[in-house]
Amino acid sequence: MQNVILRNISKRYTISHEKRVLSKVILFGWLKRKKQEALWALKGVNFEANRGEVIGIIGENGSGKTTLLKILSGVTAPSLGSVNLDGKVSPLLELGAGFHPDLTGRENIYLNGSLLGLSRQEINQKFKEIVAFSGLEEFIDAPLKNYSSGMFLRLGFSVAMHASADILLIDEVLSVGDEVFQRECINKIKEFKDSGKTIIFVSHNLDMVLNICDKVFLLQHGHILKSGNPADVVRFYLDTVGKKGVAVLQKGPLDIIFSEGRLSLYWQGRQITKGLGGFTAVFSSKRWHISTQAEWDIRSKDQNKLVVEGKWLRLPVKQTWELDVSKDGSLCWQVNTEVQQRGLCGQEQLNLMLSDGYQEWFVDNRREKFPQIQSNNIMWDDLLPEGSIAKAAGIDTDEAGEKRLPAICFAPLEDAPDNTMKVFNSDFQNNARVLQCLNSNFNNTQGSFKIQVSFGLPNISKHIETIFNNKMQEILSCEDQLNCVLEKKELKVFWNKKELPEGHPLVRSFIKGKLELMRRQAEEERLRQEEEKKEKILLRTLQNDNLRFVCWEGKMRLFWDNAEITKGIGLYSALYNAERWFLSSEIEWQVQKTKEKMLLRGEYEYLPIGQEWEIKIEPPGSFLVKVDLLVKEEINIQQGAVGLMLSDKYIKWFSGKKQGDFLRVFGRQWADILNNDYEDIVVGVAAVLESSLPQVDLYWNHKDKNNFIRASNTDFLYSARVIQLLRYEPREKSRFSPGRYPYFSFSICIKS
């Protein structure tokens, strides 16, 4: 139940620069009044408290805390607004106020008690209790001037606590006094709270505020800047403490707090920065000088934009930060650096230290996980390779749900060739992720960063890559200004006809861009060829359900469910001439394909013979193959063969009548296992049960004793199984005169 309600409270103080003198007023009248300056100690403050609540009020000195208490107590009246108090307010602002040093403790208890509205009788009743709580029994009749400050405070607190108020006000107490007494005070305050009284408490002691308050109000320049849960408000306050260099920008879920050279970012009330947060640094005389060491002034501030200026105390360096929050909630952070002396600073950097809840980083087209920060790590770990020039960086988390940190993209709005992005793991104490923009070639008197920080992008990786691509394009498009010449084995780079020194970032950038471009072109070419090849292969493919026949680069191959079952040269024919086998894989084939049929035609290079293959789909799971010889000149062929070289995962062979296992080992020579069997018309292989390979048969319908079947192991080079059909020509028939001869006709059957 609310018992304290303040509405729209404003308090104006007038500051007159002259002493107010009655005689002047009498002599010159009211007409000649000088203009007075108004100072608003409080502006439109709304404040409320419930019974049984401990309310904390925090804020810098001069933020209006005490004025608020004064208004609550009635010590002064507000200039505007209404005060509604239900119950008796303790009128005491300060412990021990009204104590007189010349009076004894006892006399002061009575005096102070009556100031707090207690009657003599009430004081008499409570006197023992008051003295006991203060623990000053021995000193109660000594004058107060002989008390220590701690004793003074004990007595003050004790009297205040025993004044029967419903609303207790305490201004900046408990900072003095020993720990035991502080604990007693806290207990007493809790007792009060439990008895349904309201305690309003102003303090700089944030620990205590966190400890005992139910609700905290943060005052700044007479406004309530934030109120609510003590932990949230205190953290917010800690980020905004400072004398003059503090300002807050708020937009949607984003809160940006600038505080004396550093930025803290909050997303949906949750802090996403760590350590110093956003800060800059310049490098001079062998060390980094951080922006928090500068003296900051707020130049201008409106709802969306903040301009601050900082002067380094020990360096002739000045920086202006422009912080601009755009409509889409991204922050544009522009930093202009002015150095009085050329070459004083070698480098400058801009950093964003972020929560270690981020696990993934992105730079250009890279994407990686952050390594763990080791507990002995006292330096920052650069996660990018040395010398790399990155154009955009980002950070993301794999957490999900409400408390998810927003993905952050960190990219320059205007590209400066000297600037590069970096990603770090900080030292273990800060335990933070760092995104950095570094200018390692800062010799001029002026430098600038213009960084856009975007939050909560849905596809951060893609976003960064797009930025990177655009940047690369930009760099490469300045080719007409940039020339590379190879002179006496040295690469010289010219920018607008002026030679650039070796290692100039522009050169590195350009070369990197060039390499990237070449890499990309090569990649594109490879992809194009692959695509072409796929198309060509498609022209040389017969598909029979999940069985596929492909003729490619002289080899005829069989695939089952996309897995090749052939090996080595696959399906082949061979002709024996002049003590040597001529294999069909030597032939360049010309392919004609229809839906069910493929026609292959080709010629041997060293034999006057051509071959024509017809492969026809014969469902289910079969190909019917016909091989014709096209003899151009008379030639002697004693033997011919067709075979299938198959995967060595096949371990069994069979024919119509026999079956057996292949040898497990491969030797230097081919090893026949089933040899020259002329009675059978089928030869095949089968795999063991576990294997998914189908059974493969060759059917050859013949009634000739010169035809044989064979199953073999190849040599160790091929390491394959082979099933073959062979034909021997009788000596009188081994001469072929020009013409066309049907030579083989068989079918390949695959059974799963």
Partner 1 sequence: MTQISGIPRYLKNIFSYRELIFNLAAKDFKVRYKTAVLGFLWTLLNPLLMMLILSLVFSWIIKIDIEKYPVFLLAGLLPWYFFSFSLSSGTLSVVDNANLIKKIYFPREIILFSVVIANLINFLISLAILFIFMQAFKIHVTFLVLFLPGLIILECLFVLGISFIAATLHTFFRDTKYIIELMLLVGFYITPVFYPLSMVPEGVRSVYLANPMTCFIILYRDLLLYGKISSAAMIMYTIASSVIIFVFGLALFKKHQKIFADYV
Closest approach, Cβ 63 to partner 1, in A, equals 17
Closest approach, Cβ 14 to partner 1, in A, equals 9
Structure tokens at 259: 């505080």
Across 364-495, the runs of DSSP E, i.e. the strands, are: 366-369, 381-382, 393-396, 408-412, 419-425, 433-439, 446-455, 482-487, 490-495
Q: Which is nearer to partner 1, 74 or 660 (CB)?
A: 74
Structure tokens at 245: 């260099």
Most distant CA atoms of the chain, gap in Å: 155
Closest approach, Cβ 218 to partner 1, in A, equals 24
Q: Which is nearer to partner 1, 49 or 339 (CB)?
A: 49
Q: Please say whether the beta carbons of 200 and 154 come within 8 A.
A: no
* CA-to-CA separations, 232 to 59, 226, 239, 697, in angstroms, rounded: 14, 9, 11, 78
Structure tokens at 355: 């929560």
Closest approach, Cβ 200 to partner 1, in A, equals 14
The closest alpha carbon to 690, from 743, 652, 656, 659, belongs to 652
Closest approach, Cβ 156 to partner 1, in A, equals 11
DSSP-assigned states of every residue in 34-70: PP-EEEEEEEEEEEEEETT-EEEEEE-TTSSHHHHHH
Matching residue, tokens 């003599």: 120
Closest approach, Cβ 116 to partner 1, in A, equals 8
Q: Which is nearer to partner 1, 25 or 578 (CB)?
A: 25
Closest approach, Cβ 202 to partner 1, in A, equals 13
* CA-to-CA separations, 160 to 163, 169, 183, 435, 524, in angstroms, rounded: 5, 9, 16, 53, 83
Closest approach, Cβ 212 to partner 1, in A, equals 23
Q: Which is nearer to partner 1, 112 or 284 (CB)?
A: 112
Task: Tell me: cis bond preceding 730? Omega within 30 of 0 counts.
Answer: no
Alpha carbon distance 730, 735 (integer Å) = 10
Alpha carbon distance 150, 162 (integer Å) = 18
Alpha carbon distance 576, 585 (integer Å) = 14
The H-or-E segment that residue 643 falls in is strand 639-646
Q: Which is nearer to partner 1, 15 or 665 (CB)?
A: 15
Q: Which is nearer to partner 1, 103 or 673 (CB)?
A: 103
Alpha carbon distance 450, 413 (integer Å) = 6
Q: Which is nearer to partner 1, 141 or 661 (CB)?
A: 141
Q: Which is nearer to partner 1, 197 or 557 (CB)?
A: 197
Q: Please say whether the beta carbons of 439 and 280 come within 8 A.
A: no
Closest approach, Cβ 135 to partner 1, in A, equals 24
Residue 593 pairs with which residues in a beta bridge? 598
Closest approach, Cβ 186 to partner 1, in A, equals 23
Q: Please say whether the beta carbons of 397 and 380 come within 8 A.
A: no
Residue 221 DSSP class? T
The closest alpha carbon to 695, from 684, 679, 704, belongs to 684
Alpha carbon distance 746, 741 (integer Å) = 15
Residue 694 DSSP class? P
Alpha carbon distance 593, 34 (integer Å) = 108
Closest approach, Cβ 51 to partner 1, in A, equals 18
Alpha carbon distance 72, 79 (integer Å) = 13
Q: Which amino acid is at 151?
A: M
Q: Which is nearer to partner 1, 63 or 397 (CB)?
A: 63
Closest approach, Cβ 94 to partner 1, in A, equals 5
The closest alpha carbon to 263, from 332, 198, 163, belongs to 332
Q: Which is nearer to partner 1, 66 or 240 (CB)?
A: 66
Q: Which is nearer to partner 1, 72 or 600 (CB)?
A: 72
Alpha carbon distance 466, 599 (integer Å) = 49
Alpha carbon distance 410, 421 (integer Å) = 8
Closest approach, Cβ 204 to partner 1, in A, equals 18
Binding site for partner 1 (CB under 8 A): 13, 19-23, 25, 70, 73-77, 83, 85, 89, 91-94, 97-98, 100, 102-103, 107, 110-111, 114-117, 119-120
Q: Packing angle between helix 105-115 and helix 149-162, nearest 10 degrees?
A: 40
Q: Which is nearer to partner 1, 13 or 428 (CB)?
A: 13
Q: Which is nearer to partner 1, 20 or 128 (CB)?
A: 20
Residue 48 pairs with which residues in a beta bridge? 5
Q: Which is nearer to partner 1, 20 or 735 (CB)?
A: 20
Q: Parallel, antiparallel, or unpaired: how do β-strands 597-603 and 609-618 relate? A: antiparallel
Q: Please say whether the beta carbons of 416 and 504 come within 8 A.
A: no
Q: Which is nearer to partner 1, 80 or 97 (CB)?
A: 97
Closest approach, Cβ 118 to partner 1, in A, equals 8
The closest alpha carbon to 726, from 603, 623, 581, belongs to 581
Closest approach, Cβ 110 to partner 1, in A, equals 6
Q: Which is nearer to partner 1, 94 or 677 (CB)?
A: 94
Closest approach, Cβ 193 to partner 1, in A, equals 22
Q: Which is nearer to partner 1, 164 or 481 (CB)?
A: 164
Q: Parallel, antiparallel, or unpaired: how do β-strands 650-655 and 659-661 relate? A: antiparallel
Q: Packing angle between helix 179-194 and helix 149-162, nearest 10 degrees?
A: 10
Write a three-state SS string for 366-379: EEEECCCCCCCCCC
Closest approach, Cβ 13 to partner 1, in A, equals 6
